[in-house]
Chains A and B, each alone.
Chain A
Amino acid sequence: MSDLLEYAVRKLIIGAFVVFVVTVVLFCIMQLMPGDPIQLISNPRIPPEKIAELKKHWGLDKPVYVQYFYWLFHILQGDFGTSITTGQKVITLIQERLPYTLLLAGGSLIFQYIIAIPIGLMAAYKEHSIFDSIVVVSTIIFWSIPSFWLGILLILIFSLKLKLLPVSGYDGLSSLILPLMTATLPNLASTLRLTRSEVLEVLREKYVSTAYAKGLSEKRVLIFHVLRNALIPVTLMFFLYLPWTVGGAVIIETIFSWPGMGRLLWTAISSQDFPVV
């Protein structure tokens, strides 16, 4: 048990360090970018004294490391700073956007697992059957479709041709369907693939034969012995791929003008609004 605790503590320290390094790297990158946010929001006719004053107001006249520690100090006190372009508190911006992104990402993850696990189990159980081959081939195909094109295609079919669903933005549940499908389908393929290969592996284990030999029913063995063990790596993958989900969010939210974090990030990066980033 103490081993486990030690392990957990060590991982936590590494995790905290990773977060620290990430913020430093991001901060440096934003600093290195040509131009600065003040130039972007102010128009060229503003006198240089005024710009200097603005810079002082935002603390942009100080060296980079001073700015960084200044920022870190405020974060630790729970103050996330203010957006330079819009003047809103970053925390309110995030509060506005986060529920939408969580709705999209969470919804797609839930769907993905609800669909992928039973199909993956069945495909592996009937390995080399027609059903299995169809599953394998279609996962490779779905894997190859980029989410942004899938989004465009879905808009074309469901919104423009069939006129069933809204094109973009957010109003009500019907506008959730298309982004959700776009976010779910490509990931569904990889989860399905993983579930299938894990189940195949577990099916070859000796304890599965033992369970059968004990006279347990087919269903019982599959669900309680095979699936339980096969799901361990599948769950692990869930956490490993969280960062990829964030990356995907940027694109999907851009296509559907979804008011979430991904879009916030994209606009913030392009206008160099670094407190937001």
Chain B
Amino acid sequence: MDKATVAAETAARMQDAEEVLRENNYDKARLVPILQGIQARYRWLSKDLISYVAKAVGLPPARVYGVATFYAHFTLKPKGKYIIKLCDGTACHVKGSTPILDALRTKLNIKPGHDSSDDMLFTVDTVSCLGACGLAPVMVVNDEVHGQVRPADVERIIDDVLAKEKKQSK
């Protein structure tokens, strides 16, 4: 891809950001909804988008970065299309969330130190509690909740997603 095209693609992202900014009146008091709106489109907040938003609403980039790192909801690393949230709260931990995490990382071939698969289809995050301790161990794939998961179930759950993904892309 030539560089001018890359630049133009980034421009398109800025255009999307501009839309979100306009919906929020470029109001710095609405910084959180603006960042939410942008993250909803790109699943993460890139450095250039954060700088862009800072300039557009008239805040120092350090302040916008501070807000983006304060809330766990925002992510500054690219995330996969499917985000798997594995609960590692007390109940899930005791019921064996660690082997499930291992199974997920092996199945998705996620390298040590990374949390997304190379094809950026999956991201695996551990979270502190999903509030469904009765179903421990629990994991959520985007909006789909899986309860009482065993490590052996991981294969099937991921394959189902992959099959669905394949059907969609056809």
- A interacts with B: no
